[in-house]
Amino acid sequence: MTSIITGDIINSRKVLTTEWLPILKQIFEAAGSSPKTWEIFRGDSFQVEIKNVSDAFLFAIELKTAIKKIKGLDIRLAIGIGEKSFDTNNITEANGEAFINSGFAFDHLLKKQNLAIKTPWSAVDDEFNVSFSLALLVMDNWTVNSAEYVKMYLETPKATQKVIAKRLDISESSASERRKRAGFDEIMKLEKRFRQVMEQKIADS
């Protein structure tokens, strides 16, 4: 069982490629090497494999924060979960249930929202596609400052509010306000729920 994230950058032509491409590559490189684990194609589209299925939503959040830190940009992400029946040294040539599910989510579900999921379990799809649609009410409206806060926290999850405020060169009260505006605690509760459900499903399969 694996997870495949298919996505693209929204408004990529309005911003210099040099502003977002290196950031995207840096995040992907943490997941593995190209082109086996990830590949960017058609300029602003991409596919990446997250082998630990439970990490898929957290990885999606990381991508969202990195791109939303750049004014004017956003990102569409389709998470597909399932088996990988055919493996190659190029992710775009591999195949299997996870790839099919990711493609379905990208082609059909992303017409309605910027983050969607398709798994082998319809009840899981129903739960998280509704949850994602609610989370996106906040995430799609993240300001550069909000995205910066969330990204900083994800990079240093054990850091205190005081430390994060210092790194962002703002007051603790300002950091607290950014956290609240970003809906950070609620989004991380959803991430925890996603992780729990996926771990249970993998254990049962």
Predicted confidence (pLDDT) per residue in 49-68, tens digit? 999 999 999 999 999 999 99
Whole-number pLDDT of residue 111? 81
Q: What pLDDT, on a 0 to 100 scale, did the predictor assign at position 110?
A: 83
Q: Which two tokens stand for residue 140?
A: 């799609």
**pLDDT tens-place string over residues 98-129:** 999 999 999 998 888 999 999 999 999 999 99
pLDDT of residue 179: 96
Strands 45-50, 38-41: pairing is antiparallel
- What's the rounded Cα separation, in Å, for the pair 172 and 156? 16
Residue-range domain boundaries for the chain: 2-204
Model confidence at 78: pLDDT above 90: yes
Cα separation values, 161 from 23, 57, 66, Å: 25, 23, 20
Query: What dihedral do alpha carbons 110, 19, 151, 78 form, nearest 10°?
Result: 20
Q: What is the mean pLDDT of residues 91-97?
A: 93
Output the pTM of the full model: 0.95
Give the span between the Cα atoms of 122 and 37, in whole angstroms. 27
| Residues in the chain, overall count | 205
Q: Tell me which CATH code domain 2-204 carries.
A: 3.30.70
Over the stretch 141-185, which tens digit does the pLDDT of each residue have? 999 999 999 999 999 999 999 999 999 999 999 999 999 999 999
Q: Whose CA is closest to 191, among 106, 102, 65, 75?
A: 65
Report long-range pairs for 176-180 (Cβ below 8 Å, ≥24 apart).
178/145, 178/146, 178/148, 178/149, 179/149, 179/153
